[in-house]
Amino acid sequence: MSKTSVSPSRKMQLSQNSAAMREALVANAAQCNILRAALLSDPPSDLRQAYRATLSNLEATGIAIAEKLGHMKTEIELPIS
């Protein structure tokens, strides 16, 4: 059963949470860019492996945040009950 409306307090909570998640997504993207730049500097192989693993985790986190934001946006756009 899908929701057809959302309470005003839930809508406010979703809006606040989505704002925080957007900030987290921006920070995540910045961290990814720093690691990409570090990889371009040709670091030693042990650091390169660590950078790649961290970058992979950050990218997966960014994707998860973006998906969650999409779900929240859908719920925010529901009419108020």
List pLDDT tens digits, range 10-31: 889 999 999 999 999 999 999 9
Prediction pTM value: 0.78
- Report the C-alpha gap between 48 and 24 in whole angstroms: 25
Within a domain: residue 3? no
Within a domain: residue 38? yes
Angle 60-65-70 from CA coordinates, rounded to 5°: 125
Within a domain: residue 64? yes
SS3 58: helix
Q: Is 7 left (phi over 0), alpha (psi -120 to 50) or beta?
A: beta
Mean pLDDT (the chain) is 91
Quote the number of domains for the chain.
Answer: 1
Angle 64-65-71 from CA coordinates, rounded to 5°: 90
Within a domain: residue 55? yes
